[in-house]
Copies of this chain bind each other. A is one copy, B any other.
Amino acid sequence: MTTQTIAGSAQEVRKKIRSNAWRGITSGVAPGHVQANLAILPKELAFDFLLFCQRNSKPCPVLEVIEPGNVEPFITAPQSDIRTDVPGYRIYREGQMTAEVDSLVEHWQDDLVSFLLGCSFSFEPAMTDAGISLRHQEMGSNVSMYITNIPTTPAGRFSGPVVVSMRPIKRDQIVRAVQVTSRFPATHGAPVHIGDPAAIGIKDISRPDFGDAVDIYPGEEPVFWACGVTPQAVALNCKPSLMMTHTPGMMFITGQRDADYAVL
């Protein structure tokens, strides 16, 4: 495995991953292409999970659902294979991680339903294009993520709090940040909160629950977006007999473009 980045189209990159020629963090890979979070669950939980995502579309924006037993995301990446084309996978049983693997081929079951969910990698380039710099990129670190006191709307067996990502934004750029990210509802969309972390149950902004802490400078406010960690956290919270996901940071690269998902 290498952590260096890789050039090429989405299809070329997926082929290199499938053939074991490259594995790594996908940030910046195949620029302009939509990357996706992956959650795989048994069919018996699929309706509840899809309904959960429908009720909570800001943290859980569904890009594609692959029907039971099928492995090809025919809408977002025809001819790809969800079992082999992600750089790394995690397998959870009863809510506990039991394995981290390079391929799901040997672990596949005919009753598995795969969910591809939007990722904020799609709106970050639009923010930098608009002149809004991203602190975690400047610092070379992961974005800060926090468990909030904002409840999701439960569905069937699934419930739990919304997880958010935070980016410090200069006060005179907050309006622009709202506008730019509003154009991408399929990848978390507009912020869920601006300013005071305590108002959404975050006790210490310097201690994120996931990712890295970043500096907040004078003249900036912390701005919070619904985060794709939410669906995995909520799904694991219900301790499904089996759940498979991507390894964090190693996303599925679709053949669709960020611009395909922009509204207005």
Contacts and interface: CB of A to CB of B under 8 A. Distances in A.
A13 interface: no
A156 B67 CA distance: 8
A54 B47 contact: no
A180 to B, nearest CB: 11
B67 A62 contact: no
Nearest to A65: B51
Contact of A50 (B50, B67, B183): B50
A237 interface: no
Contacts of A54: 50, 54, 62, 65
A170 interface: no
A263 interface: yes
A9 interface: no
Given A67-B156, A75-B153, A155-B67, A182 B264 contact: yes
Interface in A59-78: 62, 64-65, 67, 75
A96 interface: no
Nearest to A189: B263
Nearest to A53: B54
Contact of A55 (B55, B75, B189, B264): B75
A50 B55 CA distance: 12
A223 to B, nearest CB: 17
Interface residues of A, number: 22
A185 interface: yes
Contacts of A264: 179, 182-183, 263-264
A226 to B, nearest CB: 15
Contact of A46 (B47, B179, B189, B263): B47
A51 B75 contact: no
A263 B182 contact: yes
Interface in A160-218: 179, 182-183, 185, 189
Interface of A: 43, 46-47, 50-51, 54-55, 62, 64-65, 67, 75, 153, 155-156, 179, 182-183, 185, 189, 263-264
28 contacts: A43-B47, A46-B47, A47-B47, A47-B50, A50-B50, A50-B51, A50-B54, A51-B65, A51-B67, A54-B54, A54-B62, A54-B65, A55-B64, A55-B65, A55-B75, A67-B155, A67-B156, A75-B153, A179-B264, A182-B263, A182-B264, A183-B264, A185-B185, A185-B263, A189-B263, A263-B263, A263-B264, A264-B264
10 pairs of A and B residues whose beta carbons are closest in the complex: A47-B47, A50-B50, A51-B65, A182-B264, A54-B62, A46-B47, A264-B264, A182-B263, A263-B263, A54-B65
